[in-house]
Amino acid sequence: MKLLLATRNAHKVGEISRIGEGLPIEWVSLRAFPGLAEVEEDGETLEENAAKKAVVPARSSGLWTLADDTGLEVKALDGQPGVRSARYAGPGCDYAANNQKLLQALAGVPAGERGASFRCVMALASPEGRLLIEEGRLEGAITEAPRGSEGFGYDPIFLVTEAGKTLAEMTAEEKNALSHRALALSRMRPHLRQVASESGGVLRTASQRRASRCPLCGLEMEAWHCRERCPGCGYQIDCSDG
């Protein structure tokens, strides 16, 4: 089965494909679809962004699509940068700029108060708009300076306390054994296997309830997700709609 990864980030593609080894899936990225426009990440939550990033390319490509949105939540900063982690230092910023801004924001904060967590929300969407959400979380702390040269993003300043290493000091195998993205994907694996084995199959889990359609654009969704806005058109919805 060919499955679209809704990203052009080579680091993320490599990480997800390694974590997903053993699945009967041929992974392709948005680089294989140069005509697809970038999805604007304008949601107020990681769930909204992940859903939109999966649903829109799935419709356009005709392929089941897997997307994620990841946020770094720092306790001393009331959960920031959160949903804006990728652009924390401003539009078009690079990883180094984001790291520098975060370290400056935590200047003078003692080691015992630098707790943080990485949260990855992963969405799987069918071309017809079926959607499933899973989540993974990794607890740790923010260092006072970058450490390590592996990984990407905030990895050099995110300390996995129990391991005594930042994510950037770990090998790919070490990171993939415990990361937030690895946990989210491990929870998604049974559903990926189901989709791969059932051509055109519809996902069903014990936690799902009845299907619901957006009253504005008709996008079919699972009522249990209770998004504040439809990922297809932005209509404000809740579980009572449809």
Token couple for 193: 């296997």
Residue appearing with tokens 């996008």: 219
H/E element, 81 = strand 81-82
Report the 10 Å Cβ neighbour count for 170.
20
Q: What is the DSSP string of 181-217?
A: HHHHHHHHHHHHHHHHHSTT-----TT---EEE-TTT
Q: Which residues of 130-155 are buried (b: 16+ CB within 10 A; e: fewer)?
A: bbbbbbbebebbbbeebbbeebebbb
* Options 42, 68, 69, 94, the catalytic residue: 69
Whether 65 and 102 have beta carbons less than 8 Å apart is answered as no
Report the 10 Å Cβ neighbour count for 112.
7
Q: Is 69 a catalytic residue?
A: yes
Residue 174 CA to residue 114 CA, distance in Å, equals 23
DSSP letter assigned to residue 114: -
35, burial (CB in 10 Å: exposed 0-12, middle 13-18, buried 19+): exposed
Token couple for 143: 């260092």
- Please list the active-site residues: 69
